Structures are given as structure tokens and as C-alpha cells.
Amino acid sequence: MLFTSSGTILFDAARMNNLETIDLGKNGDNNNAVTLSLADVLGLSSTSGGTGISAGGDDIDLFIFGDDQGEVRDDVNLSGGWTANGTVTTSVVTGSETTFNLYVASGVQVAVQQGLDQLVA
């Protein structure tokens, strides 16, 4: 999913599923934000094997990336008891070598592009 507008994405996990990537948009300092609870991620992510990319001993269920440049960067807020699980670097998701921070909770793993504003609890 590519989000090109400004502002914050509001998710309705009951209406969206099998998301593998959330692209907050690289261009423009529009300070996009996405806020996801553990329940949101469980509802949004694929139920059939995730993204097909594994790291840190687990499948990655969701990648989130966007504007990591300059003073204004996109925001990712995760709640629900996430634990940092190292990093992974791949060009498969964004088309160029990109390093992601990994977070795990309740058997799901989310990869958030390094350099985004991240608030994880």
C-alpha cells in the first residue's frame, strides 16, 4: 500500500488485511504517521506466510517505510508490547538497499525503516 497524501493513516483492521508493506511516501516533508497496535498488526498482516522474507529467526509480516531524510521524517508508532529484534538490510522491499529495525510481539514481526521517527512500546 502506498500512502501519498498528507496526514495520518487511519486503519480499520476489519476492512483491511493481507498487507505486506506500508509506504508512507518518500518525497516531501509531509510528516506522515501510522499508529498500529499489536491487534491492528495481527489483523492487517498476511495470514498466509507473511512477506516471504525472514530475519532474526522469524518471518517478517509487515514492512513500513517512507521519508527517512532531513529534519522532517515520517512517523511509526507501535503499541502492544513490542521487543526489538535487531535489524535486516534488503533491497527487495524498496528497490534499494534499506535497513529496517525489527520488532516482535505475539508471533508477528514488523520491520520499520531505520531513520523514521519511531515510538515503540
Residues making contact with Ca ion (CB under 5 A): 24-25, 29-32, 66-67, 69-70, 72-75, 117
CB of 26 to Ca ion, least distance (A): 7
CB of 96 to Ca ion, least distance (A): 16
CA end-to-end span of the chain: 24
Taking the C-alpha atoms of residue 38 and residue 121, their distance in angstroms, rounded to an integer, is 10
CB of 32 to Ca ion, least distance (A): 4
Closer of 32 and 101 to Ca ion (Cβ): 32
Closer of 24 and 88 to Ca ion (Cβ): 24
CB of 42 to Ca ion, least distance (A): 25
Taking the C-alpha atoms of residue 5 and residue 53, their distance in angstroms, rounded to an integer, is 28
Closer of 69 and 99 to Ca ion (Cβ): 69
Closer of 27 and 48 to Ca ion (Cβ): 27
